[in-house]
Amino acid sequence: MGQMTSLVPAQVALAQRAGRYAHLSEEERKRTAAQAVALQDLDLLWALTEAHLTLYGGQGARVSPLTLRSYRTGVRVFLTWAGQEALSLLRPKRDTGAAYVRHLEGQGLEVSTVRVRLAAARAFYRALRWADLTDSRPFAEVRAAPDRTPRHEKRKPYTEAEVTAMLDAAPPRERVLLLLGAHTGLRVAELVALEWRDVDLEAGEIVVRRGKGGKTGRVYASKRLCAALREWKAQGSGEGAVLGYVNADSARHFLGKVAAAAGVASKGRALHSLRHYSGTRIYRETHDLKRVADHLRHADVSTSAIYAQHAEDELRATTADW
C-alpha cells in the first residue's frame, strides 16, 4: 500500500484498472478477451493491452500518459488495418507483421512513428497471449527500416529570434511555458505535470519528480523564468499544477497559438523544439557537452552530441551572408 500511495492519482487509477484484470480467473480473462476480439471492440482490447502493459511492462503503473496514448492509437491503427485486410487477429499469417510495418512505411510516416506503432502491436499480441487466446507472435522478427535522416535534421530547435518573438507575444501562462521549455529544457510531460510544490522561487530551483523513466531530477530556473512564475502565481495560480493544461496536446495547442501570433512557423516544430533550443544554447555558450547533458538530464553524454551539430548549423547560417 505504501508504494501505491507514492503514485499520482492517474497512476493509482491505472494500477486499479490493471488489478481488475489481474484478479479475474484465467477463464474469465480469456472469455472477456475473446468477446472483445469477436466484436473488434477497441475499448475492451485496449483495456486488456493496457492492463498487461501496466502489470508486466518495464515502467509498471508509472508508464507515462503519453506512452499510453501512443500505444492506444497504435492498437487502433493496427485493428483498422487488419479489418481492411480481412485478417484473422488470432491466426495471423506468417508475413502479417512485416506487411503491416511496410504498410506504415509506405504511408510516409516518420521512422519514430513506425517504431511506436510496431511497439503497440507487439504489446497487443503480448496481451492476447496473456489471455491465452493465441500463441502467435507476428511481430517477433519484424523491424522498422532504419532512419536515414541525421538526428539533428529531424526537429530543429527554435532560433533565438523566434523564442524572443514568441515571448513578446505570449500571455503570462504561455510565457511560463516557453521559458520552462527554453531555459530549463523540461520535456512535454514534465511541463504538464509540474506542480507549485516543486518550485522554489527563492532558491531558483525546480524539482522534476516524474522525469523520463520515472526519475527525479533538479533544474535551475533563470531570473526571467522566476519573474514569469511570480507574475503567473500572483494571478491566483499558486496551488496544484503550475500551468493547468489538461494534457500535453492542450499545451501544444496553446504554444501553436502563440507561434501564430508571433509569426513563427511551427510546422515540423513541437514543444520539444524548446528543449532543443535549450541544449543548443548551453552548448553554444559553453562548448561543453557534459554541461549540456547535466542541464538536460541525459543519462549518457553521447545523447547530447546532437546539440553541437545544431550549434554548428546556426553558425553556418550566421556566416553565410558575410
User: HSE of 124 in the Cβ direction (CA atoms, 13 Å)?
Assistant: 30
The whole-angstrom distance between residue 33's C-alpha and the CA centroid of its chain comes to 28
Confidence of residue 295 (pLDDT cuts 50, 70, 90): confident
Grid cell at residue 81: 488495418
| Residue predicted with more confidence, 53 or 319 | 53
Q: Which helix (H) or strand (E) holds 18?
A: helix 9-22
Residue 319's contacts (CB-CB under 8 Å, 6 or more residues apart) are: none
d(CA 207, CA 183): 15
| Average pLDDT taken over every residue of the chain | 86
Whether the predicted pLDDT of 277 surpasses 80: yes
In this predicted model, what pLDDT tens digit does every residue of 71-118 receive, in sequence order?
999 999 999 999 999 999 999 999 999 999 999 999 988 888 999 999
Whether the predicted pLDDT of 48 surpasses 50: yes
What is the predicted pLDDT for the residue at 228?
Answer: 95
In this predicted model, what pLDDT tens digit does every residue of 122-175 receive, in sequence order?
999 999 999 999 999 999 999 998 876 555 455 678 888 999 999 999 999 999
Q: In this structure, are residues 221 and 201 in contact, taking their beta carbons and an 8 Å threshold?
A: yes
In this predicted model, what pLDDT tens digit does every residue of 198-251 receive, in sequence order?
999 999 999 988 666 667 888 889 999 999 999 999 987 667 899 999 888 899
| Residue predicted with more confidence, 277 or 130 | 130
Share of the chain above pLDDT 90, in %: 54
Tell me which residue of 88, 174, 182, 180 sits closest to 138, measured CA to CA. Answer: 88
Point out which residues pair with 205 in neighbouring strands.
200, 220
d(CA 174, CA 182): 12
| Residue predicted with more confidence, 295 or 316 | 295
By CB atoms closer than 10 A (0-12, 13-18, 19+), residue 216 is exposed
| Residue predicted with more confidence, 190 or 10 | 190
Give residue 44's identity as a one-letter amino acid code: L
| Residue predicted with more confidence, 310 or 130 | 130
Average the pLDDT over each of 26-30, 114-118, 253-257, 311-315 and give the range with the smallest value: 311-315
Mean pLDDT of 280-284: 84
**Domain range annotation of the chain:** 2-147, 154-319
Q: In this structure, are residues 124 and 23 in contact, taking their beta carbons and an 8 Å threshold?
A: no
Grid cell at residue 92: 495471423
Q: In this structure, are residues 279 and 185 in contact, taking their beta carbons and an 8 Å threshold?
A: yes
Confidence of residue 288 (pLDDT cuts 50, 70, 90): confident
| Residue predicted with more confidence, 102 or 64 | 102
Q: In this structure, are residues 282 and 301 in contact, taking their beta carbons and an 8 Å threshold?
A: no
What architecture is domain 154-319? Orthogonal Bundle (1.10)
